[in-house]
Chains A and B, each alone.
Chain A
Amino acid sequence: MNGLKKMIYGLCFVVGAGCATSVKYEDATKVETTTADFGSTDLQQIANKMVDSLLSFPPIIQTTTERSPIIFVDTIKNKTLEHIDTESITDSIRTKILRSGKFRFVDMTKVEAAKKQFEFQNESGMVNQATAAAFGRNIGAEYMLYGNFASIVKKSDNVKDVYYKFTLNLMKLETGIIEWADEKEIRKISKRSLFGW
């Protein structure tokens, strides 16, 4: 009996020891289903779908065969109930498009910082003018990338059903025509069970 008791205490100790905080590296590309909230897999799915769709759209293939037009990325309106960093989604999309070599980008969020550097180079008297970047040589963007991110959430006592819809549009600035658009839908359900983890 004493032996059995010791065995139980030992097992309790082992199980208890397993509950201590531990840290390990995980695969960043692995499907993540911790909760039904927006997660890394959703971000990766949206970015992949949007880039694949844009780069395989026949009129875009035609436009980008001979040259790499310039795009500026406007904001993605977050209409979901969650706090989602939509800039992170557009960053992933921009990186993938840029690496394909099909488009080039201008970053409107860095205009002020670039302007300060221009002024320093041209007006401070500290920079050799032969090496200073000249004013008025920036290239105007031809297209604007913008979109919406919406969600529908339904809840019951034990079930949460989340539907996400990400829409992205590419507008030609000169004509105002939307040259390409696509959307990605994601639906996730989380269920709370009585047993298990």
Chain B
Amino acid sequence: MSDRIIKKARDTKLRYLWIAVGLMVLPCAGCSTAVIEGSASAVSRQDGQTVVKNQIRTDNDRMEGRLQITDLKADFAGNLLRAHVSLLNKNNNTGNFQFKFSWFDENGNEIDSDTDAWTPLILYGNESRSLQAIAPAPSVKEFKIKIRELSME
């Protein structure tokens, strides 16, 4: 009889423990968003149309294994800077990325910040893709592209 009472008490305790663990885990289940970001910049001037500065910077080791910026170019469409970016998904799996351009004048000041939005980009396994964008104003002489992958959102 006493064994049964002890067993029942132990089972109830275990049940309460599981509920407690469940309640602790539940609020965190939807929040595991991993954001990784890479950025690159290039400068092109109207005299000669050559890329003066070309930097590729990756903040995150995981991003380096997932995505590669294979080429960065800038030229002019009329007097507006045009950005060309070539990307390669280094992974066999489809990647859900987002990219955003930002634009700078010759003094490095950002032009029309927050006018370009994050744009979704799907890259299938080992797929390469070229992106193009036009600067919002003639004063733009430099662009940056930020690419990130959201593992869960």
Tell me which of B77, B78, B120, B136 contacts A31 (CB under 8 A): B120
Asked if B24 and A11 make an inter-chain contact with CB atoms under 8 angstroms apart, the answer reads yes
Q: A30-B118, A100-B136, A101-B138 are in contact. Are A55 and B80 (CB under 8 A)?
A: yes
Stretch from A2-10, A104-112, A165-173 forming part of the interface with B: A2-10
Asked if B78 and A12 make an inter-chain contact with CB atoms under 8 angstroms apart, the answer reads no
Within 8 A of B (CB), among A7-42: 7-8, 11-12, 15, 18, 27-31, 33, 40-41
Question: Does residue A102 face the partner (Cβ distance < 8 Å to B)?
Answer: yes
Number of contacts between A and B (CB, 8 Å)?
A: 87
Question: Does residue B141 face the partner (Cβ distance < 8 Å to A)?
Answer: no
Return B21 CB to nearest CB of chain A, in Å. 10
Contacts of B114 in A (CB 8 A): 28-29
Contacts of B138 in A (CB 8 A): 100-101
Q: How far is the CA of A4 from the CA of B100 in the complex (A)?
A: 49
Most buried by A among B27, B77, B82, B117: B117
Tell me which of B17, B80, B82 contacts A4 (CB under 8 A): B17
Asked if B20 and A11 make an inter-chain contact with CB atoms under 8 angstroms apart, the answer reads yes
Question: Does residue A51 face the partner (Cβ distance < 8 Å to B)?
Answer: yes
Chain B, interface size category, equals 35 or more
Asked if A56 and B134 make an inter-chain contact with CB atoms under 8 angstroms apart, the answer reads yes
Asked if B23 and A31 make an inter-chain contact with CB atoms under 8 angstroms apart, the answer reads no
Chain A, interface size category, equals 20 to 34
Asked if A52 and B134 make an inter-chain contact with CB atoms under 8 angstroms apart, the answer reads yes
Q: How far is the CA of A41 from the CA of B118 in the complex (A)?
A: 8
Asked if B134 and A99 make an inter-chain contact with CB atoms under 8 angstroms apart, the answer reads no
Contacts of A27 in B (CB 8 A): 118
Q: How far is the CA of A1 from the CA of B10 in the complex (A)?
A: 10
Interface of B, helix, strand, loop or mixed by DSSP: mixed
Tell me which of A5, A41, A55, A196 contacts B30 (CB under 8 A): A196
Q: How far is the CA of A45 from the CA of B119 in the complex (A)?
A: 7
Contacts of B100 in A (CB 8 A): 29
Q: How far is the CA of A30 from the CA of B27 in the complex (A)?
A: 23
Q: How far is the CA of A61 from the CA of B117 in the complex (A)?
A: 25
Asked if B77 and A45 make an inter-chain contact with CB atoms under 8 angstroms apart, the answer reads no
Asked if B16 and A44 make an inter-chain contact with CB atoms under 8 angstroms apart, the answer reads no
Q: How far is the CA of A5 from the CA of B134 in the complex (A)?
A: 62
Question: Does residue B13 face the partner (Cβ distance < 8 Å to A)?
Answer: yes
Return B72 CB to nearest CB of chain A, in Å. 17
Q: How far is the CA of A12 from the CA of B114 in the complex (A)?
A: 40
Contacts of B23 in A (CB 8 A): 8, 11-12, 15
Q: How far is the CA of A15 from the CA of B26 in the complex (A)?
A: 9
Which residues of A approach B to under 8 Å, CB–CB? 1, 4-5, 7-8, 11-12, 15, 18, 27-31, 33, 40-41, 44-45, 48, 51-52, 55-56, 61, 64-65, 96, 99-102, 196-197
**23 A-B pairs whose Cβ atoms sit less than 8 Å apart in the complex:** A1-B12, A4-B17, A5-B16, A8-B16, A11-B20, A11-B23, A11-B24, A12-B23, A29-B100, A29-B114, A29-B116, A31-B120, A41-B120, A44-B117, A55-B77, A61-B77, A64-B78, A96-B115, A96-B136, A100-B80, A100-B137, A100-B138, A102-B80
Which residues of B approach A to under 8 Å, CB–CB? 9, 12-13, 16-17, 19-20, 23-24, 26-27, 29-30, 77-78, 80, 82, 98, 100, 112, 114-120, 132-134, 136-138, 150, 153
